[in-house]
Amino acid sequence: MQIPRFSRNFYFLFGIFFFIWMLFIDSNDIYTQYKLNQKRRNLEDQKAYYQEKIAEVKQEREELFSSKKKLEKFAREKYLMKKESEDLFIIEEEE
CA distance 74 to 83: 14
Express each pLDDT in 9-61 by its tens digit.
888 889 999 988 888 888 888 888 899 999 999 999 999 999 999 999 999 88
pTM beyond cutoff 0.85: no
**Inter-CA distances, 64 with 4, 56, 60, 72, 74, Å:** 80, 12, 6, 9, 8
Express each pLDDT in 24-36 by its tens digit.
888 888 888 899 9
